[in-house]
Amino acid sequence: KARTLLVKITDDEKKRLAEDNEAKRKEAEDIIRQADEYKDSGNAFMKNKQFEEALDQYNLAIDTSADGPNSHIYYFNRAAAYRYLKQYSEAADDCLSSIELNDSYDKARTLLVKIRDDEKKVLAEDKEAKRREAEDIIRQADEYKDSGNAFMKDKNFEEALYEYNLAIETSADGPNSHIYYSNRAAAYCYLGQYSEAAGDCLSSIESNDSYEKA
């Protein structure tokens, strides 16, 4: 009887383990199925160029199955959505996560190269935009300076001072700022404001110590 009972207990344990394994298998399948549904929904939004909505769905897919058999696809797809939204740092991170999960997934490597190129292009565009902005500032300051010079020729020193003030306010430390300070110093001299004139001469020399006029 004891042996029979032991066999029965062993069989019961095997059955219970099998049932537990089957339940876990079904649960895992359900998780993957749900994650794939989020991914498919995201793909549909991508086709319609609704990238924010696609991103939300891919987020759900990854939250549901961050390291499952298809997770590398979710990360790759989310990287694509991030790229369209010009969030290149996040896109690159997701490509790396995709490759880490499946290092043979070449799509992620190809997309990562494109994202790096995008980043370089954006940096170059930002640099060019800043260069143009700096040129515009200098151009505007020079216009104020030229206007001030015209007033100086007509001995309208108060008006000249006003224009030189604008030039300095626009570009206080630019490549031509030493000229603005020197010219304002001259205006101050004509107005009898010698302390201010001396201060501007010093500022001009500080900006360009080889500027002999100051």
Residue 26's pLDDT is what? Answer: 84
Residue 82: name the closest of 67, 100, 62 by CA. 62
**7-41 pLDDT per residue, tens:** 555 665 766 776 677 677 787 889 999 999 999 99
Mean pLDDT of 45-61: 98
CA distance 67 to 179: 64
Distances (CA, A) of 168 to 83, 154, 155, 191: 42, 21, 20, 18
Going by pLDDT thresholds of 50, 70 and 90, the confidence category of residue 4 is: low
The dihedral through the CA atoms of 43, 91, 106, 113 has a sign that is positive
The percent of residues in the chain predicted with pLDDT above 70, rounded, is: 92
Q: How many residues does the chain have?
A: 214
Q: What is the pLDDT of residues 72-118, one digit of tens each?
A: 999 999 999 999 999 999 999 999 999 999 999 999 999 999 999 99
Mean pLDDT across 115-132 = 97
Provide CB contacts within 8 A for 81, sequence distance 6+. Answer: 42, 46, 51, 54, 55, 58
Among the listed residues 153, 150, 177, the one whose alpha carbon sits nearest the alpha carbon of residue 165: 177
Tell me what pLDDT residue 13 has.
72
The Cβ of residue 65 has, within 10 Å, a number of other Cβ atoms equal to 21
SS3 content of the chain, % helix, strand, coil (to 5): 85, 0, 15
Q: What is the model's pLDDT at position 77?
A: 98
In this predicted model, what pLDDT tens digit does every residue of 128-166 receive, in sequence order? 999 999 999 999 999 999 999 999 999 999 999 999 999
- What is the residue whose two structure tokens read 């015209």? 150
